[in-house]
Amino acid sequence: MVRSRLLLRAAALTVGLLATTAPGAVIRITPQLELETSRIMGVFGDDSGTFSDEALLKIHTALWDDGIETDGYVTMLGLDTDHGISLVFLIDAAGIGGGNETASISFQTTAPIGRTRWINDQPDDISDSYNGISGKQVAWGLFSWNANVEGDAFAWSNLQPGDGLSAMFAAIEESTLPGLNGEDTFQFVSADGDGWSIVDTASFTSANYYSFTAQVVPNPATIALLSIAACHRRRRR
């Protein structure tokens, strides 16, 4: 009996440790496409809403280290941050580029009211936001950057399981000259056991638009771990 109790306690402690280190949610784009989140330290600080250049470079560097090119692409990934689960949009790369011209892309995104938005861009490029009557907040504007100097970024944080999000991009005339790749402009990046990898790509439609919706769902691994912990608790009673 003593040995059984010790084994159960050890198992419960192991489950508890795994549950605290496993991301609590994933970001589902389609039933077949889910973005696993991972942690990059020091991304969002205490100044809510300020997406610093240093934080942006940390994200790009983590992806570059895993062989993912971000220059000329719009990259979507999920992060586990001090401000909860976050969906991050990287617009072009930080600090590098392929030309001297500027480029711009129109952007609109929605998230539930109460979620925090983070912007790395010129203050007047994200032109406005408002809270809608359906419980959603909407942000929209332009991302404009010098193709040889800097990229931009946007993120929603404090996301909760069940949250629905959307994003829509519109290419304007100079966006692909030379700012964004004409094919596979959009890339979705997911965490795995060894780092980061591209799990899907997409392009602008013939009408120069691209949009997607997403939902935050509980991480199946976390659900399984919590179920095991509950089972151990029942056995001990």
pLDDT by residue (tens digit) across 196-223?
999 999 998 888 899 999 999 997 654 4
Residues above pLDDT 90, as percent of the chain: 37
The confidence score (pLDDT) of residue 62 equals 94
Instruction: State the burial class of residue 124 (Cβ atoms within 10 Å of its Cβ: 0-12, 13-18, 19+).
Output: exposed
pLDDT by residue (tens digit) across 175-196?
665 567 667 889 999 998 889 9
Confidence of residue 147 (pLDDT cuts 50, 70, 90): low
Residues above pLDDT 70, as percent of the chain: 68
Mean pLDDT of the chain: 78
Spatial neighbors of 50 by CB under 8 A, at least 6 apart, are 118, 119
Which stretch of 23-27, 83-87, 156-160 has the lowest confidence by average pLDDT? Answer: 23-27
The confidence score (pLDDT) of residue 177 equals 53
Listed by start position, the domains of the chain span 1-22+219-237, 24-218
Chain Cα centroid distance, residue 179? 21
Residue with more model confidence, 134 or 63: 63
What strands lie across the sheet with 152-159, from one edge to the other? Answer: 116-120, 152-159, 84-91, 74-81, 186-192, 195-202
What strands lie across the sheet with 164-171, from one edge to the other? Answer: 33-35, 25-30, 209-218, 164-171, 102-112, 136-146, 126-131
Confidence of residue 15 (pLDDT cuts 50, 70, 90): very low
Please determine, for residue 44, whether its predicted confidence score (pLDDT) is greater than 50.
yes
Please determine, for residue 129, whether its predicted confidence score (pLDDT) is greater than 50.
yes
For every residue of 184-231, DSSP letters joined together read S-EEEEEEETTEEEEEEEE---TTSEEEEEEEEEE-HHHHHHHHHHHH
Which structure tokens are listed for 58? 């940390």
